[in-house]
Structure 1
Amino acid sequence: MELDSQSKPHLPRGVRLKRDEARGRWTLLAPERIFEVDATAATVLELCDGERDLKAIVAELAERYNAPLAVIEKDVVAMLADLKAKRVLET
């Protein structure tokens, strides 16, 4: 379940990120499950397209938020590892 810099995270078939405009929130929809995610998590998940590797995702976020790579990487890896454990993310 480990993620490394070459991992290419993506949402598996049947899982999708959706903006619930009526309630003003992001949701991660999976078969028989729904997760509410905040805007920052949604931004990370939008970058998880299966094309970008973890290193590229972290670099993009560090640039967008003007934050240190190490801090961004730690937070992103923790979030993605949790979602992978819940089987709503693949690498």
Structure 2
Amino acid sequence: MSALALPAAVPALNRHFRFQWEPAQDCYVLLYPEGMVKLNGPAGEILACVDGERDVAAIIACLKARFPEADGIEQDIREFLGDAHEQRWIDYA
């Protein structure tokens, strides 16, 4: 397991991005100087939990409580956080 996937790792939004709900798009988006990334529902829900204070375990617990019917959610969250880190949307403290 990589250090990024460890439950105690704390993700935070990269300072070059702004995360917000965009009513015109009816979804969460990431804004950056060159444009905008429109996020699908699950990606937006995960990033809404990334606050620079919660660790991966707390993010997973929060989303499991919010979506108890979602099987396999833990692996999906870890994979998304890995992808978000590769895209440089998030960093780890």
TM range (shorter): 0.7 to 0.9
Count of aligned pairs between the two proteins? 90
Query: Structure 1 CA distance, aligned partners of 2:69 and 2:59?
Result: 13
2:89 corresponds to: 88
RMSD, aligned α-carbons: 1.9
Q: Deviations over 1:47-78 (max 9, x none)?
A: 1101111001101111111147x812100011
Q: Quick one: structure 1 residues 43 and 89, their matched pair in 2 at CA, closer, same or farther if it must change by over 3 Å?
A: same
SS of 2:31's equivalent in the other structure is strand
The alignment's TM-score, normalised by the length of structure 1, stands at 0.85
2:32 corresponds to: 30
Contact 1:15 1:29 in 2 (8 A): yes
Amino acid at match of 1:87: R
Query: Structure 2 CA distance, aligned partners of 1:22 and 1:36?
Result: 11
1:14 corresponds to: 16
Contact 1:30 1:88 in 2 (8 A): no
- Of 7, 13, 34 in structure 2, the residue corresponding to residue 5 of structure 1 is 7
The alignment's TM-score, normalised by the length of structure 2, stands at 0.83
CA drift at 1:33:
4.2
- Of 65, 68, 74 in structure 2, the residue corresponding to residue 66 of structure 1 is 68
Q: Deviations over 1:1-34 (max 9, x none)?
A: 7321011111011211122212322211233242
Greater strand fraction, Structure 1 or Structure 2 = 2
